[in-house]
Amino acid sequence: MPESAGAPAAGVVRARGAQYDVARLLAVAVEVFIERGYDGTSMEDLARATGISKSSIYHHVESKEQLLRLALDRALGALFAITEEEGAKTSRAIDRLQYVIARAVEVLCAELPYVTLLLRVRGNTETERWALERRREFDRFVRAIVTEAAVEGDVRADLQPALVERLVLGMINSITEWYRPGRLEVGELATTVVAMAMAGLGETMSPGSCGRREPAGTLPTEWSVG
């Protein structure tokens, strides 16, 4: 028999005037995970937030952890896509670093709730531990570019690549705490983050200089990082 007019499409749950597929269910679940914490969220909380029954949720996903996995995979997939882009693979390392920094900002803004959730996982479940290891893999990718840029003479020799990577990514990740879509143009934000990161990588400041900068390589040994 033909479907009656207005009947929900296959795989979609209608409740309180809304239709839920996995993507919409996931979007709501991520909001609840961020607000209550993953461990503090029950399936009952998700049912209440979506306005559909727990059995309807289970029609789409097997568990709360599967929702978490889908959300984290979306964030990580967007980040790792950067590593395959031409700008992240060709040209001098310093240019690749600038490209990756800018793109990481853009991905964070485009996938804000999903990246926010990624940054809040603590490793309490198998899925969270998987996500943390994937984050470390991305960190190592950035660190390798910083190391190469230092070898090429474009990053100060007195800076540890691992520390640079952590501070740069830390600056990017902090955007999740205050950025809201529409309040700031993403391109301007990305350009500003790149400019701030690059400003500290090519020059070194002498002790007591009060802002006076000197060429890289002049920093006394006792002041070097490490």
What is the reported pLDDT for 214?
Answer: 41
- Domain annotation covers residue 108: yes
* Average pLDDT of the segment spanning 40-54: 94
Residue 22 within a domain: yes
DSSP state for residue 59 in the 8-state scheme: H
My answer on whether 79 and 29 are in the same domain is no
Boundaries of domain holding 40: 14-61
Structure tokens at 166: 């952590």
pLDDT digits (tens, 9 = 90+) for 89-98: 999 999 999 9
Choose one of 43, 61, 79: the last residue of a domain: 61
What pLDDT score does 221 carry?
33
21 and 92: one domain? no
CA pair distance 46, 60, nearest whole angstrom: 13
Residue 119 domain-assigned (yes or no) = yes
Residue 4 within any structural domain of the chain: no
Per-residue pLDDT tens over the stretch 187-212: 999 999 999 999 989 854 444 433 33
- The pLDDT of residue 66 is above 60: yes
- Percent residues over pLDDT 70 in the chain: 81
Nearest to 59 by CA among 50, 76, 32, 34: 50
* Domain at 159, CATH number: 1.10.357.10
Q: How confident is the model over 119-163, as pLDDT tens digits?
A: 999 999 999 999 999 999 999 999 999 999 999 999 999 999 999
pLDDT at 4 over 50: no
- Residue 177's identity, in one-letter code, is E
d(CA 116, CA 37): 11
Q: Look at residue 219 and tell me if it is in a domain.
A: no
Domain harbouring 47, CATH code: 1.10.10.60
pTM recorded for the entire structure: 0.81
Asked whether 72 and 79 are in contact (CB, 8 A), the reply is no
Inter-helix orientation angle 126-151/93-110, to 10°: 150
Could you give the number of structural domains in the chain? 2
Residue 224 lies in a domain: no
Domain for residue 88, yes or no?
yes
Within a domain: 226: no
Alpha carbons 204 and 218: distance in angstroms, whole number: 7
Chain mean pLDDT for the chain: 85
199 with 157, same domain? yes
